[in-house]
Structure 1
Amino acid sequence: MNLQDKTILITGIDEFIGSRAAELAIAQGMKVRGLQTSNTKDQKLQNLGVEIIVGNINDNKIAQTACQGVDIILHTAQLAEEAGDIKRFREINVNGTLNIAQAAKQAGVKTFIHLSTVLVYGFNYAENITETGIVSGDNNPYCQTKIEAETEILKLNSAPDFGVIIIRAGDVYGPGSIPWIVRPVLMMRQKLFAYANDGKGVMNHLYVDNLVDAIFLAIEKEAYGEIFNVTDGEKTSWKEYFIHLAAMEGLPAPMSLPKEEMKLFLKVRHQGQKLFRKKADILPESVDFMSRPHAYSIAKVTDLLNYQPKIDLEEGMKRTHQWLQKTDLQKLMK
């Protein structure tokens, strides 16, 4: 499929990945429509010519309206938190995803890209796990509902009329990334950040532009019915990543704590925040997300789509640092 002059709907366009995907889609000569829940429309995107619709992916009428006249949908909207009530996760990650996909199919949309996550494999998985590997919710609502969403979405695949592609993204970082840039930097500035178990294991980082490149390749190749793991393909330890992040900001290297000790500290911190009715900045379950042991295989996306990550960690951090220097991170966390 030639992307030129195609109309793409991006859900979650006000979020980190959706916003960057919109900018890069415009650069590819695509027409972009965005769906977001926030009432605040991004002036920068509107200046680029993006049509923004405010509404909820669970709203049938909004979904139907948003999908009219669209060739491609990139579904990035999700509830991405480390823990919480699974009913809330299921309402957005499963029901909302299914609602927008069904509306897309009814509207005659040709391509539906579902942004999933490598966290569908859980926290204890095999080294270089492939797309055929065992998925596991690991009693985590985010992991579990992303698995459920994939299952439901694939049932709708009926290419060439309606083709579904699933992208299992690694740990997406870059300007605007809350979990891998904003939150750790803010905590490092307060000397509150630590990594678990001496930073062993692999941070499967994925620069946001590399992710969008993989998405565009999947659309162009019309890889319908396929699932792809996507990372930068670099084996960077958690320790290396977080030390690099601290050094980039001129901050001291973070310390290491045993995993269970770190969880206990965050649990007590969270209870204190609840006592003073403060929003939790980091949950104990985040330690599981930040201590996964192995790399994920990207052989399939490399072989089938000829995906080659163009931006390595050094360049990605350089671009992120430039953004950090001109951004008030506290505003992003409100």
Structure 2
Amino acid sequence: MKVAVTGAGGQIGSIIIEEIGKVAELTPVAIFRNRIGSALYESNNFDSRIVDLENLQDCIDKLSDCEAVINCAIASGTYKEARLTNVSMVKNLLKLPNLKYFMHLSTVAVYGDAFIVNGLNTYDDPRPNRSYGKEKLHVETEIIKNVSNKTSFYILRLGHVYGCEMAFSKAILSFLTDKNFRIPYQGEKLSNTVYVGNIASGIINLLKDSIPSGIYNLSDNPHLTWAEIFSWHCTATGLPMPKAIDTNEADRINMNYRNYYKKSLASSVFMDFSKWIGSLPYLNLLKSDSFQRIAYFSLIIMPDFFEKWVRKRYAKWSAQKSVSLLSLNKTITSPFWLFSDSMPGKYLLNFTNNFDSNAITVKMKKWYENYKNF
């Protein structure tokens, strides 16, 4: 069976193609938007194709021999441009004549990429609080509306993806090298993380032995704690384990997060604005979740040239602000996700953490040596 993988040049898509290529009955087809990305795969004897995913006829002409699609692609550009492109791509892919399986990589961010509070962010009614999660959730709804009853579909809400080259592992390494970083509750909370190789493993097993269509959370199976995640990174890199936050202080921070996310958007805006007026500088307001949510909705309906102007000005302002803060020794509090509850709802459980931990640790160690010297 031929399996088309969009976003083949990305961090996750490239791993999925590599792992599918090891399965005798599956043939990966790497999908690219231009010649630059496809050249690498052609040199390694992979079937790679340049496809305009926004053009239905081009999709049909070049992908009709594929019975499965794994959609790892996500568009960039202005919010409106990205939304139109993302929706157009999935609609066209769902119209392929021989399509039996459609898999879409969504994200934990649909529950709110900063913090999940069970009971507020539910499986059936998730509450994304930033643009990335909002766009992923919007695409989920479009897939459900447009998928044929002849096609098995799987929307996989990925946890935080770790492993070599992964942005989340880079973030962890950044915290591990910061003397002010602390981990709450000795790292005993479940982490909502997934090793990149386990994503490929779960997808391959779906293609071999499908389960009912629907939306599934995807984390490591069994689910790892933060202590286990940090320990693995420390073992691979030789960095020391982070110190723990005092339990009382962790409880205080946790309660502050939970109280904040229980508030409505209107009350959050009012409180953020009040705090800003009382404390200044205006950076506090601009960085607040509620302010950014209103800004996001505003930019969606604004002309493209206005959004581009705002982004350009904000990027310049952020760069100037970062430079001015370099000399300040600010204590880093633990990030939101360390206090988060587990993703609510159904999980994909058709695989176990069966990758050789010693092998991936050695691989991570080699990558880290290059990464830290870059």
TM-score by structure 1 length?
Answer: 0.71
1:223-263, CA deviations, whole angstroms, 9 ceiling, x for partnerless residues?
35322112114454446533542453123445689799xx9
What is the alpha-carbon distance in structure 2 between the residues aligned to residue 324 and residue 25 of structure 1?
23
Q: Percent same amino acid among aligned pairs?
A: 19
- The question of 1:136 aligning with 2:127 is answered yes
Paired position in structure 2 for 1:281 = none
Residue of 287, 292, 309 corresponding to 2:353 = 309
Rate the CA distance shift 1:255–1:45 in 2: closer, same or farther, 3 A.
Answer: farther
CA displacement at 1:218 relative to structure 2: 2.1
Rate the CA distance shift 1:166–1:298 in 2: closer, same or farther, 3 A.
Answer: same
Paired position in structure 1 for 2:110 = 120
Please show how residues 157-172 of structure 1 align to structure 2 within 5 Å: 157-160=147-150, 162-172=151-161
Paired position in structure 2 for 1:70 = 66
Rate the CA distance shift 1:199–1:287 in 2: closer, same or farther, 3 A.
Answer: farther
Paired position in structure 2 for 1:217 = 205
What is the alpha-carbon distance in structure 2 between the residues aligned to residue 316 and residue 228 of structure 1?
28
- The question of 1:96 aligning with 2:96 is answered no
- 8 Å CA contact 1:118–1:168 kept in 2: the answer is yes
Rate the CA distance shift 1:47–1:120 in 2: closer, same or farther, 3 A.
Answer: same
Residue of 309, 319, 339 corresponding to 1:274 = 319
- 8 Å CA contact 1:57–1:97 kept in 2: the answer is no
By percentage of residues, which structure has more helix? 2
Rate the CA distance shift 1:66–1:246 in 2: closer, same or farther, 3 A.
Answer: farther
Paired position in structure 2 for 1:105 = 95
CA displacement at 1:192 relative to structure 2: 7.8
Paired position in structure 1 for 2:248 = none
Paired position in structure 1 for 2:165 = 176
- 8 Å CA contact 2:56–2:92 kept in 1: the answer is no
What is the alpha-carbon distance in structure 1 between the residues aligned to residue 317 and residue 230 of structure 2?
26
Q: Give the gaps of 5 or more residues in structure 1.
A: 1-5, 279-283
TM-score by structure 2 length?
Answer: 0.64
- The question of 1:295 aligning with 2:328 is answered no
> Bigger radius of gyration, 1 or 2?
2
What is the alpha-carbon distance in structure 2 between the residues aligned to residue 277 and residue 64 of structure 1?
47
Paired position in structure 2 for 1:150 = 140
Amino acid at match of 1:136: R
Q: Give the gaps of 5 or more residues in structure 2.
A: 246-252, 257-282, 288-314, 324-331
Amino acid at match of 1:19: S
- The question of 1:11 aligning with 2:6 is answered yes
What is the alpha-carbon distance in structure 2 between the residues aligned to residue 198 and residue 115 of structure 1?
31
Paired position in structure 2 for 1:232 = 220
